[in-house]
Amino acid sequence: MLNINKFSMGATAAIITCMGLVAGLNQGDGAKTSIITGLLIIAIADNISDSLGIHIYKEAEGASKRDIKSSTYGNFLVRLFLAFTFIFIVMIFSSRTAFIVSSIWGLVLLAILSYLISKKRNSSSLKEILWHLVVALIVVVGSKLMGNIISKALTHSKL
């Protein structure tokens, strides 16, 4: 059976980080290259860092070697897979369309994950889903605004 504990943190981090990155870097002429580069950094460097963090946390918790390995590898593989789904979206669509599609994709994935968590906890699915989607939307809107501000500032500067 699927153990959501092994990948929920990594999946959530990957989804929201990728959504924020696509939203924030969706500016200027080189946006597609910048977005793909950023997503690859998330897929590799941030993923390894996060997986090591989970590994160390599990060690400090006194978890078994098997649990440590499954949590570490589960987190890494889920984050890698999810980051590559966002890379695929950016590769096949124009920057503006990729922003829309990746936002929808991320919200759908987060809603599914939230639903699975709510079922495991026997809590209200709608409440869990709405709360998690609100947080994700705050990240997307904030990232988009920050990208716009930086893009405009750089356009008007001599850099």
The confidence score (pLDDT) of residue 156 equals 81
Q: How many CB atoms lie within 10 A of CB 139?
A: 19
The confidence score (pLDDT) of residue 112 equals 94
Maximum CA extent, the chain: 57
Q: Name every residue whose Cβ is closer than 8 Å to that of residue 89 and which is 6 or more positions away in sequence.
A: 22, 98, 101, 102, 105
The confidence score (pLDDT) of residue 16 equals 95
Instruction: Profile the chain (159 residues) by mean pLDDT over runs of 10 residues.
Output: 71 94 81 92 94 94 93 92 97 93 97 91 91 96 92 78
Structural domain boundaries enclosing 141? 4-156
Number of domains in the chain: 1
The confidence score (pLDDT) of residue 129 equals 95
pTM: 0.89
CA distances from 130 to 67, 102, 114, 124 (A): 31, 18, 9, 10
